[in-house]
Structure 1
Amino acid sequence: MRKIQVVGRFITPQLATSVTASCINFVIIMILNFFYERVAIWITDMEIPKTHLEYENRLTMKMFLFQFVNYYSSCFYVAFFKGKFVGYPGKYSYMFGKWSKLRNEECDPGGCLIELTTQLVIVMAGKQLWGNIQEALLPLMRNWWSSRKGRHHPENHYSRWEQDHVLQNFSQLGLFYEYLEMVIQFGFITLFVASFPLAPLLALFNNILEIRVDAWKFTTQFRRPVASKARNIGAWQEILNAVAILSVVTNAFIMAFTSDMIPRMVYLYAYGKGASMRGYVNNSLSIYNISQIPQDNMPEEQDSWLANSTATCRYRDYRYPPGHPREYTHTMQFWHILAAKMAFIIIMEHVVFVVKFFVAWMIPDVPSDVKARIKRERYLIQEYLHNYEVERLKLQLSASFITEPQSEMSSMTDKHEVLSECL
């Protein structure tokens, strides 16, 4: 009984609701993911690309955009939209106007950051776990089904190549889904890492496990793939660069608007007494007179004292109290906090981009010793071709000198001298 009470202190109704909603959202994401893949392939097939490279690049962009919206839309909503446009008591904001009676969602009293963390952990961990199970079970079940016809023959009657032939064929898009999985994971650990700093650690554990799963899959469940040359990773490089740049912006906005870091710092250095956080909670709550609530928002069964009451309620916002000449409008502290948030975003983005470009300049894509080797190989190839052409011309001139009549010897000698000087 004591253990149940201890667990109950940490698992609050708000947390239980957030976890349940995140699990339902994950199930819906996986269902929609199945349909999005088919739609992306169908649209790409309708375009009829001319080459396989063009087909793969177009499919890559479409598939990533579908996956981006499917996996990240809920995290973007919780981080940047939920609880940001709710209004205040007596004048709440509605999603489709007042006639819909559907109010915009509010965050928990502790803020939306914990909800974003819960959403990110469940979707990211669930996708990785489901992906590993799917990669391990699907090829195994398909190979078992395809080998059912030959189960009455002993396995030792088949040669090694016959046993390998019944394995799954490694298609041309075999690595496409591996790239897609890694790019989606890269988005999780970069776009919202400010809300869950342990996301890269979970990705590391997942990649260590996936390396072994892929090794087992490619060596036991698939035919040996045919090697093909590739200059680079194609459209994936541009996608990774775009996600890396977008992650700087999203993390800056998460730290500024989703967390309470900036309001706390503004209160500490501008409004706090003695540079302390004492009184911050009371300062972050505004006052509203209950008697001013519109009749439409009043409960149907209301007490008589409710309409004539002078009691007040508190809500999270920075607005003037009732009775003030500018009641229920934003205070100057609200605009100070908003200016501090925008300044923080601008400064953080510029600092991170400067550091990024400086590191990219310090660490080139191709090391200097590799560039020197490439130049040396080109020089040796040109020298070899030059010597080969010289020897070939010498042999041709020698053969023509023997076969030509003596009247043309002088002209051939002049030609040989000219060619020799040119070479």
Structure 2
Amino acid sequence: MMCLFVCPSSCLSIHLHIYLSLHHSISPSLSSNQVSDDRKTYFVKIHAPWEVLATYADVLKIKVPFKENDIPDIPMDWLFTPFRLPDHIMNPEPDYFTSPFNKGKIDFFLIDDKETFFPPSVRNRIVYYILARCPYHKTDREDKKGIKRLLNNGTYGSAFPLHDVRGSNSDQGCWAQFRFKFLCLIGCVSHNRKYYGEKIGIYFAWLGFYTEMLFFAAVVGLICFLYGLFTFDDNVWSKEICSEEIGGNIIMCPLCDKKCGYWKLNSTCNSSWQSHMFDNVGTVFFAIFMGIWVTLFLEFWKRRQARLEYEWDLVDFEEEQQQLQLRPEYETKCTSRRLNRVTQVFFCLLHCARTFLSGATVIFWISLIIACIIGVIAYRLAVYAAFASIMKDSPTNNIHMVGSLITPQLATSVTASCINFVIIMILNLMYERVAIWITDMEIPKTHLEYENKLTVKMFLFQFVNYYSSCFYVAFFKGKFVGHPGDYIYMFGWSKLRNEECDPGGCLIELTTQLVIVMSGKQVWGNVQEALVPWVMNRWGSRKARSHPESRYSRWEQDHDLQNFGHLGLFYEYLEMVIQFGFITLFVASFPLAPLLALLNNIIEVRVDAWKFTTQFRRPVASKAHSIGAWQEILNGVAVLSVVTNAFIVAFTSDMIPRLVYMYAYSNDLSMKGYINNSLSVFNISGFSEDNRPDDGESPGWFNSSVITTCRYRDYRYPSGHEKEYSHTMQFWHILAAKLAFIIIMEHVAFMVKFFVAWMIPDVPSEVKARIKRERYLIQEYLHNYEVFFLA
């Protein structure tokens, strides 16, 4: 097996020189130090000398410094000042004006040392650019060229740049060493960019910025949570539920058929107190705040991205090279071709059958997810009756021990959430392979097109996979249950009666679902990212590690690392965007979600830095001036989050019914009597045989000859009324208030969004001034240089 890799300038004294001419005439030879210990793998080490680097820097119009910047430093947004380390710690490099490199005007540029003039990312990108275009076989129809095709047909086993010496004072060492503070990982993106290139640099810049912004959301969310925690004494409705005189005397209707008995309202005392921690006035405030936060996050990121575009010389960058460079798979798999009359290049005819099959596959898998969610819902409906029957004689029915043991509602919710999480992870692993297969089947022309197609498919699937269970609990559970005597059943099956929300509300169950899925996803993701590559690397190099350094060379050590692949960053972005959806779409139910995300991301930055530098081969540097298609996905999630949080506050939380009661139905603008007002009355004699509890299922204190009515959560007229069991006027008042709140909140949030977007320019004025100043200086200096040269 042959392995081809690029050496940095630091390995000049130990490697075989292969000088690349403009005609790509490479004829490498092998020496003893290029043969691996197993005598089966041969290494060809390539280094580009100054002449090659200068020539292709001119061809690629790579920008290099020509004058030190004479404009004062761009002030950082005051919002992020606390996250910046002082200059005496960071030791920032001087800032320069840059211009496209011109080999014929060497004296025009600031070249102190030719060996370090081009950063590592530029050097390995130039060499890989040459290798990607080297012809190796000519036919009448086409010229076969490029290292990618040689890798695909097995001529070479791998091709990768070498890592710099680990632990050195290199660009790699600045941001990857664990002795550095977390803030250094955020502030060292320029070193990261020089080492890995702009594409990976922009990812770490975005991740660092996202983590910075999470700090503010986490602080406000924690304050809202503490507000709910410290206002327990003002929680009148929970006191009424827990009291012997009120909650102890309210007999509730069975929550399931046959196996569920009558129960007292004060048995939900614990869940009522728990619900108050998340369902309070702070919930409404935090939902509105997050609508503004997500707008600020996206707008400030555009500004940060514009700064990076200027600092990294990407202002005029166009992805033309990525769009013109064909994928080797496209060239080999494309059988039906047509000649482009303009470029004289053959392009592939994409058959409708491929597109149809791809779309049908995506729809099938999304349908499979929905079927699994329906299965989990059926599990919830079935096991609730079982848990209720098992726990009917447990101490939880004793009001003096309320909260000390698990309840049927909590047991059902937790087990269903855990099962749902396992299903999510299994489907996720399966669909990753399916998504890659159907994207390969479409034969995208370029890597950029390939990534965009895969991004859409994967995010659409992950969106349904991770969020569908939360959508069910938030917007469907307890909304379509009917009323005693006329219940609604799932698919009309008499054994699957739709779930109800207990008087504590469904918000606490949404919180439970969100915590389990989000926390499980984050923990599993970090373990998978850190543990799997480490185990595979340890296993792959188990024999070689026992050899001395002279026998286990640097290039063999790098070869034994995991291959990063062209989809490596895709999975990193996907993980963070899914997390972004959790903390925005359902954050009204769990204000601590941003805090959990912040803690996870502090670990995530460390894990990514360690993983990139020690567990993966160094990827080939590539340019990118933005986060690509993920920007539009984030914008879409941000808009949807305003709608979902408005609906959560209106229909999942009990805030609107409480406010309507306080201002429209309470005599003294207090919450006294709210619980009694929110429960309707049903005559027990109206139960059919299918709904009535079996003998022995009701508790011992229940006496049917004395207790003739039970209560349920709704606003309906009682038995004997002319509108028996139809909705009361209060129900319609509350519904109107909910719809009004949704409209007002959405309009306020969107108006603030558009106002903020209008007030905050995407490109800072300082950056615009620098760009103009730089263009002016380039023209002036070039003019003076040519006049002096001609003279």
**What is the TM-score when the length of structure 1 is the normalising length?**
0.85
Provide the aligned length of Structure 1 versus Structure 2: 388
- Alpha-carbon separation, structure 1, partners of 2:598 and 2:517: 16
Q: Does 1:79 align with 2:474?
A: yes
Q: Does 1:209 align with 2:603?
A: yes
Shift of 1:362: 2.4
Shift of 1:24: 1.9
Letter matched to residue 334 of structure 1: F
| Structure 1 residues 236 and 348, CA gap change in structure 2 (3 angstroms) | same
Matched residue of 1:297: which SS? Answer: coil
Letter matched to residue 118 of structure 1: T
Matches within 5 A, 1:217-256: 217-256=611-650
Deviations 1:102-132 (A, max 9, x none): 2112223311100000111111111111111
Shift of 1:318: 0.4
Shift of 1:384: 6.1
Q: Does 1:45 align with 2:444?
A: no
Aligned to 2:429: 34
Match of 2:451 among 39, 56, 77: 56
Decide which structure has greater helix share.
1
Alpha carbon RMSD of aligned pairs, Å?
Answer: 2.8
- Alpha-carbon separation, structure 1, partners of 2:629 and 2:583: 20
Aligned to 1:372: 769
Matched residue of 1:41: which SS? Answer: helix
Letter matched to residue 42 of structure 1: W
Matches within 5 A, 1:8-23: 9=403, 11-13=405-407, 14-23=409-418
CA contact (8 A) 1:285 1:316 kept: yes
Deviates more, 1:258-267 or 1:44-53: 44-53
Letter matched to residue 463 of structure 2: F
Q: Does 1:143 align with 2:537?
A: yes
Deviates more, 1:379-388 or 1:82-91: 379-388
Matched residue of 1:9: which SS? Answer: coil
Matches within 5 A, 1:3-402: 9=403, 11-13=405-407, 14-97=409-492, 99-151=493-545, 153-298=547-692, 311-382=708-779
Letter matched to residue 27 of structure 1: V
Deviates more, 1:105-114 or 1:232-241: 105-114
Shift of 1:382: 5.0
Deviates more, 1:131-140 or 1:370-379: 370-379
Shift of 1:360: 2.2
Larger Rg: 1
- Alpha-carbon separation, structure 2, partners of 1:259 and 1:152: 61
Deviates more, 1:157-166 or 1:115-124: 157-166
Matched residue of 1:314: which SS? Answer: strand
| Structure 1 residues 309 and 95, CA gap change in structure 2 (3 angstroms) | farther
- Alpha-carbon separation, structure 1, partners of 2:637 and 2:521: 19
CA contact (8 A) 2:584 2:638 kept: yes
Shift of 1:162: 2.7
- Alpha-carbon separation, structure 2, partners of 1:274 and 1:187: 41
CA contact (8 A) 2:544 2:552 kept: no
- Identity within the alignment, %: 80
Deviations 1:157-209 (A, max 9, x none): 22323322221122111111000011001001101110000100110100001
Matched residue of 2:496: which SS? Answer: coil
CA contact (8 A) 1:291 1:310 kept: no
CA contact (8 A) 1:170 1:222 kept: yes
CA contact (8 A) 1:85 1:104 kept: yes
Letter matched to residue 189 of structure 1: I
Unaligned runs of 5+ in 2: 1-398, 697-702
- Alpha-carbon separation, structure 2, partners of 1:359 and 1:11: 49
- Alpha-carbon separation, structure 1, partners of 2:441 and 2:786: 50
Deviations 1:275-321 (A, max 9, x none): 1111111111111112122344345669xxx9999811110000011
- Alpha-carbon separation, structure 2, partners of 1:267 and 1:32: 45
CA contact (8 A) 2:502 2:713 kept: no
Matched residue of 1:148: which SS? Answer: coil
| Structure 1 residues 23 and 299, CA gap change in structure 2 (3 angstroms) | closer
Deviations 1:242-282 (A, max 9, x none): 00110011000000000100000000000011111111111
| Structure 1 residues 151 and 377, CA gap change in structure 2 (3 angstroms) | closer
CA contact (8 A) 1:291 1:309 kept: no
- Alpha-carbon separation, structure 2, partners of 1:57 and 1:295: 58
Matched residue of 2:480: which SS? Answer: coil
CA contact (8 A) 1:290 1:309 kept: no
Matched residue of 2:711: which SS? Answer: strand
Higher relative contact order (CA 8 A, sep 6+): 2
CA contact (8 A) 1:89 1:288 kept: yes
CA contact (8 A) 1:143 1:166 kept: yes
- Alpha-carbon separation, structure 1, partners of 2:510 and 2:748: 25
| Structure 1 residues 300 and 116, CA gap change in structure 2 (3 angstroms) | closer
- Alpha-carbon separation, structure 1, partners of 2:714 and 2:734: 11
Shift of 1:149: 4.6
Matched residue of 2:491: which SS? Answer: coil
- Alpha-carbon separation, structure 2, partners of 1:276 and 1:237: 46
| Structure 1 residues 364 and 258, CA gap change in structure 2 (3 angstroms) | same
- Alpha-carbon separation, structure 2, partners of 1:223 and 1:390: 48
Aligned to 2:174: none
